[in-house]
Amino acid sequence: MNKEIDIKNIIKFLKYNLPDKSLIRSNLDQINPGKWESKTYYKFVDSTSANQLGSGLIFKENIIPEHPALYTIVLDIIGHDQLRGIEFMTL
């Protein structure tokens, strides 16, 4: 767990910095609370069955925005443009 990072502020940052018409951006409005999986990874979606046919949790892409204070962060995007988790590269 990393108590120094306010995930709500990170979500606000993403909403502001992702393209307006991005489905990922609109999905952030309905995102469920997550939990710290490790010191550097915050997980929103349990992906125990990830990449299994029909699970809906198939990895789609990584988006790598630059945060002004946390620098490089990696967004793991799964099917239906949902945010699976955020990895903080500089931690």
Please identify every stretch of the chain with a pLDDT value under 70, giving residue numbers as ranges. Answer: 1, 48-56
Q: Is this structure's pTM higher than 0.75?
A: yes
CA dihedral for 61, 36, 23, 89, sign (positive or negative): negative
Between CA 2 and CA 7 the distance in angstroms is 10
State residue 64's pLDDT score.
Answer: 96
Range of the domain at 42: 7-88
Token digits of residue 47:
């992906």
The total of structural domains in the chain comes to: 1
State residue 34's pLDDT score.
Answer: 95
Between CA 60 and CA 3 the distance in angstroms is 29
